[in-house]
Amino acid sequence: MAAIRRAQSLLSLTKFKTNFVSASYLSLRRFSSSSQNSKQFQNVGFIGLGNMGSRMVNNLVKAGYNVTVHDINRDVMKMFAQLGVSARDTPYEVAQDSQVVITMLPSSSHVMDVYTGRNGLLRGENAIRPALFIDSSTIDPQTTRKISFAVSNCNLKEKRDNWEKPVMLDAPVSGGVLAAEASTLTFMVGGPEDAYLAARPILQSMGRTSIYCGGSGNGSAAKICNNLAMAVSMLGTSEALALGQSLGISASTLTEVLNTSSGRCWSSDAYNPVPGVMKGVPSSRDYNGGFASKLMAKDLNLAAASAEEVGHKSPLISKAQEIYKKMCEEGHERKDFSCVFRHFYNGKDEV
């Protein structure tokens, strides 16, 4: 029922987003409204209508794309169908109707299954319809590269100008449910650059920023490295603020010091973990909303597996993994990941 209500409320929104940020500097590529962004694709398939996906579909519909969806949750599918969005029973059927297919799924195994399973997107590999696949799930770069290779071994049913073979982009996102709803996500994109340029209008309808990260798997690598840095800096900030309290310095005072000194980071100045220090962040609402500890644990597991695969030394991944595993085991898996301040470090609320 919650999923149905969510879909209903999402699709009842009809306001079109018109104000895209247009900027670029250094090697960052951001969306622009240049002629390069004219739409090449109109029929978009979307698989995975969960917290993020349902909102991203809503924004695609609002931007005028013809969207065909699939999810294993039949209730959500029915709801989207009732609201006028085409729903299909299998990924294969979505592929039959789509020039582009986007996936937004929980983990690597789900993505692998949706692409290469019995009724998967790549069934009929010698004559597939979609020219472009975009996976926005957070998964490991190794799986991304395997799937990208499988996609590149397929043939297109109908060739497009200068587009001989289907292509896959990995485009995981930063920004949670609120950013998905407000179409302010940041996409980190790996894969062929010309495919990235072709995909930009679609990404633009769901996000504010995209960063081209290089070849296949580099978007996934960027995402898990970003979240590793975020986990470790949150732990460092929480540890420092809790230690400060034990040494007699209030969290507000120490935050002021950090934010004007070399200890400043996003966790101290924008997402402070101490209840009562900052308004509008998860710590100010009993760690509800935000980025769940279980998602952080998942992303750290991906970082650990990737580091192991390439033989990279990673003591901080191991420690952060251990702490977030403990948070989940102790029942805080749905709480925002900044709850380590209270539940791991036993920090006190600022009164």
Tokens of residue 114, six digits? 């949706």
DSSP 189: E
By beta-carbon proximity to ligand NAD, the closer residue of 111 and 235 is 111
By C-beta, is 56 or 323 nearer to ligand NAD? 56
Query: If binding means CB under 6 A, how many residues of this protein chain bind ligand NAD?
Result: 24
Measured between alpha carbons, how far is 263 from 70 in angstroms, rounded to an integer? 45
CA separation for the pair 182, 203 (Å, rounded): 13
Cα–Cα dist 274/256, whole Å = 13
Q: Looking at 62, 223, 298, 335, which residue is catalytic?
A: 223
Binding mask 241-280 for ligand NAD (x = CB under 6 A): ----------------------------------------
313 in the Ramachandran plot: left (φ > 0), alpha (ψ -120 to 50) or beta?
beta
Which 90-149 residues touch ligand NAD, going by CB under 6 A? 104-106, 110, 113-114, 137-138
Examine the residue annotation and report whether 223 is marked as an active-site residue of this protein.
Answer: yes
Binding mask 294-333 for ligand NAD (x = CB under 6 A): -x--------------------------------------
Residue 311 and residue 282: Cα distance in Å, rounded? Answer: 36
| DSSP 8-state secondary structure symbol assigned to residue 291 | S
Reading the block at residue 27, the tokens are 């090697």
Among 4, 17, 32, 51, binds ligand NAD (CB under 6 A): 51
What does the alpha-carbon distance between residue 14 and residue 201 come to, in Å, rounded to a whole number?
19
- Closer to ligand NAD by Cβ: residue 9 or 155: 9
Summarize as ranges the residues that interact with ligand NAD (CB under 6 A): 47-53, 70-73, 104-106, 110, 113-114, 137-138, 173, 176-177, 291, 295
